[in-house]
Amino acid sequence: MTRWTANQLWGSEAVQKALDEPQPDPVTAEVVQDARAYLAKGPGVLRSWALSQPWPRFCTIVRIISGKILSETMGDE
């Protein structure tokens, strides 16, 4: 996924705030699996589900969808 995708789902301002969050929830296999399952149902379903999550978890979901987690893992930042 990409930052563009995240911006399309939640808007650039919300994405930036989520990415700036200093204490998002940890990335777990459960969060990744949930995000994939909801995305498989459609972007709108993923969007709605993510917005229903507590802020720290929403921030983690945005980090996954935007590709930030992969970037950090690969040392691209």
* Per-residue pLDDT reduced to its tens digit, 32-42: 999 999 999 99
What does the block give as tokens for 67?
């590709």
Residue 69 corresponds to which tokens in the numbers above? 């987690």
pLDDT digits (tens, 9 = 90+) for 38-54: 999 999 999 999 999 99
Q: Which residues contact 48 (CB under 8 A, 6 or more apart)?
A: none
Long-range contacts of 30-36 (CB under 8 A, 24+ apart): 31/57, 31/60, 31/61, 31/64, 32/64, 35/61, 35/64, 35/65
Mean residue pLDDT of the chain comes to: 93
pTM for the full predicted model: 0.90
